Structure 1
Amino acid sequence: MPKWLKIILKVIAGVVLLFVLLSVGLFIYINSNKAKVLSLITSTLNKNLDGNLAIGDMETTFFKGFPGISVSLKNVTIKDKRWAEHKHTLLSAKDFDVSINTAALLRGAIRISNIGINNAAIELYKDSTGYSNTSVFKKKKSAPKTNKPDDDGGSSAEFGKFSLSNVSFAVNNQANNKLFSFDINKLSGKMAYPDSGWRAALQLDVMARSLAFNTKKGSFIKDKLISGQMMAGFNNETDKIFISSKGLKIGYDVFQLNAMFDTGKKETAFAIHLIVNQIMWRSASLLLADNIKKTLDKFNLTKPIDLKTTIAGSLGGGDPYLHVAGTIRNNTLIIPGGQIDSCNFNAVFTNEVEKGKGFNDANSAIRLFKFTGRYNHLPFLIDTGSIINLEKPIATGNFKSNFPLANFNYMLDDIAKFSKGMANMDLHYKADIVNYRLNKPVIAGVINFRNADAVYLPRNLAFKNTSLSLNFVKNDLILNNIRVQSGHSVVMMNGRVNNFLNFYYDAPEKMLLTWNIKSPELRLAEFIGFLGARKQVQTKTVRRGSGNSGNIIDQLGNVLDKGNVEMHMEVAKVYYKKFLATDVRANLLTTGDGIIIKDVGLKHANGTLRLNGKLMQGANLNNFNINTTISSVDIRQFFYSFDNFGIKDITYENLKGYLSAKANISGGINDKGSLVPRSIHGTTYVSLRNSALLNYQPLIKVGKFAFPFRNLKNIEIPKLDAKFDIQGDKIIINPMQLNSSVLNADIAGVYGLTKGTNIAFDVPLRNPKKDAEITDKEELKKRRYRGIVLHLAAKEDETGKVKIGFNKDRKKD
């Protein structure tokens, strides 16, 4: 070994030996002067205290803190000067281990290279008046910096490494209803002191018991384990503490953390930023305060989501500012009463919509951006949606959808069933939220149905190749370009509902839809379903029609059933069974009770017909009342169209001529559209011109004997005016004179549609042709009854057949 190396090693060995001897000497000195050293430590630590620090005992160990001296302080307490009033101890530690820098101690200063607090409780307490037990720490006066890095100058102790084990830590701010409470299983770190302040690397294992910014609303991350590594630092110039972590575990999820605490303010301000990827909705909900969690638990997302959260405020008082941004992709959203599949959207929550109005539910909002999904098989897009004022929440947004109408069946199961067609919606909506559901949404925009085939289930009406356009403008609904086809009937319509949104939910019975209708061909039998009572169908959740509903789909059944419709119709051809009308003009008003018919005009059987009346729906019978004027219709075709009006003895084949009439009648129509027997009542005035009775067998049989030389197969009646009173199954024939080519007769009595026929005929046997050239009315009247007059009666026998014989019941003049 070279001589110079031997000399260096000896010097080093001497220095080490000397240091060991000094350490041993210092250890012996401390143990020999425990009271003095304990007093020195206490007085040093008390420099910045305005209260009482007490140390029960002290032990020293040589090897534990070598080359420094390790001191274990027992039963350490720190109390402020008003402890006797509030009884909240700032620090109570059974074991307080301190490793002291030997060189600094020899100079009379304390530099703590390692500090450990075990089995302790720390509580930062502030009472309702604002007084805090942290006032035990004196305000530190700034001192000029020196270039002597080891010159302690009697300054406060500095820390190197530190650790806490089995320590409860709480910030109890009763003045502002805040409680931050943690059970520290293990927390360790290492301090560094650059010129700007200090830095610390932390390793923690902490159970969060309470992070309540407002104890009345509950705690964030309650009973969650927090573990991982963090970096913290303090800047003397800005008085700010910065904390960061790239892998902080809260519960079972890993977060990125960046936080700032501004201690330079009167009340420490803070801002905490958290980022987490792929966290489950329920896991995120468990990290929030009870008032927020209660709402979020009404919903769920089945797959993980990404969140970015900011919490900012003051440790001194008031609720914090919250801002949460979420990214949801290819997810399923569970909502009260249903679910939305294939969800993709970005969401933002903030409790400060308008600055200066506080951080509260009334000033909170949820914003949704580019929300796409499928609800009950309906795809949709909400480009921007909001829920504002969470105290009285209101939802707004722009809703778009384009889908096959068959997908609509899942929502309209008891109203309509679509088999074909497409729907397009572009709507702006606004709605209250009641029990976490949209209630009475107000909408504006357009709904289009194209090429639709559907069945309206309550009336069992089938439509095909139907299109419509619904425009919601302010409070009104405008219906354009509507094409409805049912069987062979094609209807083109435009309509309007004024005050639609005011009546839709609260008063559907006041709603009036005004239609302008045109049709080249209308077959009424294809709409016969309107005569039947509307079917009540039990749905999966509620019974439609049982009351007004705040749900827009549920309420649709009530509106269709109770709403009123005013129709102005122009139809080229109307068919009903054998009836054909042309050039029809009609004004109809449908109500919840039936149909009011106004100013109907049409052409039929080479004549015209005008009609007014109403049809009132009942459970098993539809009652009608009509006033009609018939002008110059072909009587044969007229009777054929109406199935002879129930008359069996005289049919359209027995009639010829032109009929005019005025009638005011009422009656019943069944659900099949047929007249109910014996239901007709009213009065009819009939005028026949250029008419004839053809091949009427009862008269022909009688005429073979009574008038063998007269043509009874064609009885011409140039003119006949009569009045009939209809009473159920009986037609009362008021006294009338029949003047014909075969005979004249005075007729009166009762014609029974089912039974009870009893008609009196006074028939002069004089041949009317003998008087054909006479024009004087008085002379004709005298001649009418010359000769033999037969007094006949048409009456039913025991078998119900009508037989003609002499009128034995006739009263003699």
Structure 2
Amino acid sequence: DSILYLKTNSNILIKSFSFKTTKGSFVENHLFEGDWDLKFNIKTPALLFDSMTINISKQPFVFKGGFHFGTQQTFDLDITTKQIKLDFAKTLLTKKIAKSVGLADVGAPLDVHTVIKGSLVGGADPYIKAAFETKKAALKTPVMSFDSASFNGYYLNEVVVGSERTDENSKVVVQDLDAKYMGLPIHSDDILIINLTHPHISADLQSKFSLYGLDEFLQTDAFTLSNGEGLLDLMYEGPIQNITRENASIKGLITLKNGTLTLSGSNAALTNCATKIKIDNSDIYLDTLTCSIAGHPITIQARAKNVVALVGDNPNGVELDLKVSAPIININQLSSVVSSKFPVKKKKTKKHSGGLSKTIQRMEHLLSNGKMSIQVNASKIKYKDFEANNLKAYMTVDDVSWNLKKTSLVHGKGNISVSATVRETRHNIYTLNSDIEMNNVEADRVWREFDNFGMSTPTYKNLKGLMSLKSNVSLNMKPNGEFDMNTLTGKANFSIKNGALINFEPLVNIKTFLFKNRDMTDVRFAEIKDDINFQKGLITINRMEINSSVLSLYVEGTHSKKETDISIQVPLSNLKNRDKDYKPENTGTGKSGGMSVFIRAKTDETGKIKIKYDPFKRFRKSDKKEPEKNKKS
């Protein structure tokens, strides 16, 4: 018979077991115990074994295979063990392979099936494939950590068949992963890690989740998610460390529906949110987010650039492009939704572990320090009492300012265009610098909608006509959009055509002195135009001509919230009554007006405007007093 049967019960302490001594030893300093049931084929010759159970340092292993000593000079080992702990398994490997396996830490025992094949005469490293499986394990990786992770997979040291078996030619494959991260369910069909010297990972992740679960997952201080549900399908390919847009690829799709997003700083809520978010390498596309703000529907499309910075070491912020459209936009509500900075309010929740904690911190930092571009289209816009139609706007937002670059809207039969910058100059104090142009808007409506521009007179009840205006002004405002008119500085020129001054107190009170039989309650004029200066809330009206259906006069003076001081020049040519066919035409403010009566409208100590004669033109003298002093000096 050519078969010899060898059976023995013995304990063997392995001091070193190497296929290639330069690569280190397997099972170093481990005790082998058990019944050795061996067969030796004399003809081949070969030492064979089948289903032989040997304990290695008390951990049972089942061995199959053999050593072939003939012309083949090879060996093959098939080794199976159940419920082995990863930390113990690493002590059975060479130090280099143990380091590669140590990329992940598994908190529950694994079932492992290993195949090792190679040459008995040295040379190349042996072929190694180790399949593993575990259930309900804590899994820690350099990127993120999972709870209740169930998966299977394998380690292989020959990715390219026929090439040298090295760490660079090795891979780890994880399959059928089902786990949870911070309550968020995660599934992956395949996770592949190649080149264990410089690990490169390819991973697909899917999740079906509630938005509350996603909120726990993100743990961002910027907003809170509630209600609704979502689906995630994500593919990442790139390194585990030193991630950049050049060496990494992220692709995916996130679907959300029936969600509610509440901003932490203002508690402003976006409700009934539904969207599809496409992730394409370093960009994110928001494919039509529909939601409601304070009951008004709104549609948002977006593109976020440089999102790889969220997982890499790119110092630049995320660039976010938004397109917003809605039937109606209420800026009072929208201003609480879009802010230049994310709030500092902190959530008292569990901390992230693994590399994802850095990702979430980067997300908040890069968003708050990134740049936002917003295009807005709305059928109607509201701001306090102001209403207009066909809004088209373009603005940019960064961590320190808002820049409104192009804005146009239709106001009644006229139109308005605005460019502006808003910058936080002190805590909760914002400075607005603006250029505004109005063409043929209804004067009384504009005055009413802007609360009479902070003036006690004239009010919207006193004005009629079509107004055109160009202004360059700055003033301070609060976070709620309330203006501080005491900080108003700049200049404006305006024109009101085909208008009227109705029950305008300074004109009506002229009857106390002049033209007692004339009706001053409805004074029609062809055009009123002037240049106005603003200085810290003080409004200076330069010499302005009013040529009306009742009389001609010239007005100049100052006005503020607390005080009015206006000089009215009434030429004596007004003594002649004007008939119904008279067409008012301005002669120009450069004209002296001829012989005139001067009247002064000035606020008294009670805050009421009093009209009195100014025979010595005290207003003009006080206005020119300082230059005269300088002349004498």
Bucket of the pairwise TM-score, normalised by the shorter protein = 0.7 to 0.9
The TM-score normalised by the length of structure 1 is 0.68
Aligned to 1:735: 543
Residue type at the aligned position of 2:437: T
Contact conserved, 1:533 with 1:619, CA < 8 A, in 2?
A: no
Aligned to 2:335: 528
Alpha-carbon offset, residue 281 of structure 1: 2.9
Alpha-carbon offset, residue 744 of structure 1: 2.9
Alpha-carbon offset, residue 589 of structure 1: 2.9
1:808 aligns with 2:604: no
Aligned to 2:209: 403
Matches within 5 A, 1:21-32: none
1:489 aligns with 2:296: yes
Matches within 5 A, 1:189-588: 194-196=1-3, 198-213=4-19, 219-264=25-70, 269-294=74-99, 296=101, 299-314=104-119, 316-317=122-123, 319-335=125-141, 339-413=145-219, 414-434=221-241, 442-457=249-264, 460-473=267-280, 475-497=282-304, 501=308, 512-529=319-336, 530-531=338-339, 533-538=341-346, 551-588=358-395
Percent identical across equivalent pairs?
A: 26
Alpha-carbon offset, residue 776 of structure 1: 9.8
Inter-partner Cα distance in structure 1 for 2:75 and 2:197: 26
Inter-partner Cα distance in structure 1 for 2:584 and 2:449: 39
Q: Which deviates further from its counterpart, 719-728 or 293-302?
A: 293-302
Structure 1 residue corresponding to 2:497, chosen from 678, 681, 689: 689
Contact conserved, 1:504 with 1:511, CA < 8 A, in 2?
A: no
Inter-partner Cα distance in structure 2 for 1:521 and 1:718: 36
Q: CA RMSD in A?
A: 3.7
Contact conserved, 1:758 with 1:793, CA < 8 A, in 2?
A: yes
**Bigger radius of gyration among the two:** 1
Taking structure 1 as reference, are residues 269 and 504 closer, same or farther at Cα in structure 2, changes over 3 Å only? closer
Aligned to 2:411: 604
**Secondary structure of 2:487 counterpart:** coil
**Secondary structure of 2:482 counterpart:** coil
Aligned to 1:763: 570
Taking structure 1 as reference, are residues 554 and 775 closer, same or farther at Cα in structure 2, changes over 3 Å only? closer
Inter-partner Cα distance in structure 2 for 1:231 and 1:691: 114
Alpha-carbon offset, residue 391 of structure 1: 1.0
Inter-partner Cα distance in structure 2 for 1:273 and 1:435: 38
| CA offsets 1:588-631 (integer angstroms, 9 cap, x no match) | 33334433323322122442212233333445333333222212
Residue type at the aligned position of 1:252: K
Contact conserved, 2:470 with 2:494, CA < 8 A, in 1?
A: yes
Contact conserved, 1:531 with 1:673, CA < 8 A, in 2?
A: no
Taking structure 1 as reference, are residues 491 and 751 closer, same or farther at Cα in structure 2, changes over 3 Å only? same
Taking structure 1 as reference, are residues 322 and 603 closer, same or farther at Cα in structure 2, changes over 3 Å only? same
Alpha-carbon offset, residue 382 of structure 1: 0.9
| CA offsets 1:553-602 (integer angstroms, 9 cap, x no match) | 43322343233333333211111111111121222333344333233221
Inter-partner Cα distance in structure 2 for 1:549 and 1:335: 10
Contact conserved, 1:740 with 1:768, CA < 8 A, in 2?
A: no
Aligned to 1:159: none
Structure 2 residue runs of 5 or longer lacking an equivalent are 625-633
Inter-partner Cα distance in structure 1 for 2:446 and 2:294: 25
Alpha-carbon offset, residue 740 of structure 1: 3.1
Aligned to 2:462: 654
Q: Which deviates further from its counterpart, 802-811 or 677-686?
A: 802-811
Taking structure 1 as reference, are residues 779 and 747 closer, same or farther at Cα in structure 2, changes over 3 Å only? closer
Residue type at the aligned position of 2:333: E
Inter-partner Cα distance in structure 2 for 1:726 and 1:768: 35
Taking structure 1 as reference, are residues 556 and 779 closer, same or farther at Cα in structure 2, changes over 3 Å only? closer
Contact conserved, 1:505 with 1:550, CA < 8 A, in 2?
A: no
Inter-partner Cα distance in structure 2 for 1:511 and 1:335: 26
Structure 2 residue corresponding to 1:703, chosen from 511, 514, 531: 511
**Secondary structure of 1:554 counterpart:** helix
Aligned to 1:35: none
Inter-partner Cα distance in structure 1 for 2:2 and 2:75: 24
Aligned to 1:720: 528
Alpha-carbon offset, residue 201 of structure 1: 0.8
Taking structure 1 as reference, are residues 216 and 798 closer, same or farther at Cα in structure 2, changes over 3 Å only? farther
Contact conserved, 2:48 with 2:67, CA < 8 A, in 1?
A: yes
Alpha-carbon offset, residue 469 of structure 1: 1.2
Q: Which deviates further from its counterpart, 322-331 or 214-223?
A: 214-223
Inter-partner Cα distance in structure 2 for 1:535 and 1:482: 23
Taking structure 1 as reference, are residues 440 and 654 closer, same or farther at Cα in structure 2, changes over 3 Å only? farther
| CA offsets 1:286-340 (integer angstroms, 9 cap, x no match) | 3333334445556443433211012333453554332110122233324458642
Aligned to 2:628: none
Contact conserved, 1:429 with 1:444, CA < 8 A, in 2?
A: yes
Inter-partner Cα distance in structure 1 for 2:17 and 2:31: 13
Aligned to 1:83: none
Alpha-carbon offset, residue 387 of structure 1: 0.9
**Secondary structure of 2:486 counterpart:** coil
Inter-partner Cα distance in structure 2 for 1:509 and 1:581: 38
Alpha-carbon offset, residue 344 of structure 1: 2.1
Taking structure 1 as reference, are residues 368 and 644 closer, same or farther at Cα in structure 2, changes over 3 Å only? same
**Secondary structure of 1:434 counterpart:** coil
Alpha-carbon offset, residue 790 of structure 1: 2.5
**Secondary structure of 1:285 counterpart:** helix
Inter-partner Cα distance in structure 2 for 1:519 and 1:332: 47
Residue type at the aligned position of 1:791: F
Taking structure 1 as reference, are residues 508 and 406 closer, same or farther at Cα in structure 2, changes over 3 Å only? farther
Inter-partner Cα distance in structure 2 for 1:225 and 1:690: 107
Alpha-carbon offset, residue 665 of structure 1: 2.1
Contact conserved, 2:549 with 2:583, CA < 8 A, in 1?
A: no
Inter-partner Cα distance in structure 1 for 2:500 and 2:350: 62
Inter-partner Cα distance in structure 2 for 1:488 and 1:211: 73
Structure 1 residue runs of 5 or longer lacking an equivalent are 1-193
Contact conserved, 1:508 with 1:563, CA < 8 A, in 2?
A: no
Taking structure 1 as reference, are residues 475 and 311 closer, same or farther at Cα in structure 2, changes over 3 Å only? same
Inter-partner Cα distance in structure 2 for 1:249 and 1:612: 80
Alpha-carbon offset, residue 674 of structure 1: 1.4
The TM-score normalised by the length of structure 2 is 0.86
Inter-partner Cα distance in structure 2 for 1:416 and 1:783: 63
Inter-partner Cα distance in structure 1 for 2:43 and 2:590: 136
Inter-partner Cα distance in structure 1 for 2:584 and 2:106: 100
| CA offsets 1:41-69 (integer angstroms, 9 cap, x no match) | xxxxxxxxxxxxxxxxxxxxxxxxxxxxx
Residue type at the aligned position of 2:373: E
